[in-house]
């Protein structure tokens, strides 16, 4: 057992095999993106309040997002404003905020974070509307564009090693299973089917 609490989720192994990044969900006092280091058996906080870590190909950077709140100085209550996608250098802890998703942008609820092998795009899943449905979205970091990639459901996206394909899960009743598409969202194909 690497950790011993039921508050550790969304684990992701670094490509060099040295670390496991995971989300610690309960602050006691630390929470956020944690790294388990196999070389010395230690765990350390890398990004407070972060979730859904995704590694750069060289294992030097972790991409993630966190909720963004503005604290009212009188009441000390947080006013939810949205999500911020960020990256952090594992060794120096230098942090860059990359993209802000306002809470008014379709009322998105986010999960997942997958950076492309070239680190130019980030995939995530989000639900919105009524009834809400999870779909895959993409952020192009250079142009700061956010675009919807699926319209009939999707979550848990992941880039192929070459970065030209995306695999994802669809849990909709008639569409369920693993699906694959090109990185531009074209040529969607079902790979597996859920049991009926």
Per residue in 61-114, pLDDT tens? 999 998 887 888 888 887 778 888 999 999 999 999 999 887 765 566 788 999
Q: Which two tokens stand for residue 122?
A: 């980030």
Q: Please give the pLDDT value at position 5.
A: 62
- 133-140 and 121-128 strand pairing: antiparallel
The confidence score (pLDDT) of residue 37 equals 92
Q: Are 24 and 31 in contact (CB under 8 A)?
A: yes
Please write the tens of the pLDDT for every residue from 116-127.
999 999 999 988
Domain ranges of the chain: 107-196
Residue 85 pairs in a beta bridge with: 65, 99
Q: Could you tell me the CA-to-CA distances from 75 to 71, 78, 79, 165 in Å, in that order?
A: 8, 9, 11, 47
pLDDT at 66: 87
């Amino acid at each position: 057992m690497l950790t011993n609490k039921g508050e550790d989720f969304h684990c992701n192994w670094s490509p060099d095999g040295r670390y496991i990044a995971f989300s610690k969900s309960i602050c006691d006092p630390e929470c956020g993106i944690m790294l388990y280091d196999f070389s010395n058996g230690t765990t350390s906080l890398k990004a407070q309040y972060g979730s859904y870590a995704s590694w750069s190909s060289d294992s030097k950077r972790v991409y993630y997002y966190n909720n963004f709140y503005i604290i009212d100085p009188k009441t000390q209550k947080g006013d939810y404003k949205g999500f911020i996608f960020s990256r952090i250098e594992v060794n120096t802890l230098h942090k860059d905020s990359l993209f802000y998703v306002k809470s008014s942008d379709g009322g998105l609820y986010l999960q997942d974070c997958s950076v492309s092998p070239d680190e130019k795009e980030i995939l995530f899943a989000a639900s919105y509307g009524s009834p809400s449905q999870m779909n895959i979205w993409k952020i192009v970091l250079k142009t700061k564009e956010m675009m919807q990639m699926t319209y009939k459901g999707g979550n848990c996206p992941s880039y192929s090693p070459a970065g030209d394909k995306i695999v994802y899960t669809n849990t909709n009743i008639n569409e369920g299973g693993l699906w694959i598409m090109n990185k531009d969202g074209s040529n969607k194909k079902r790979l597996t089917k859920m049991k009926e």
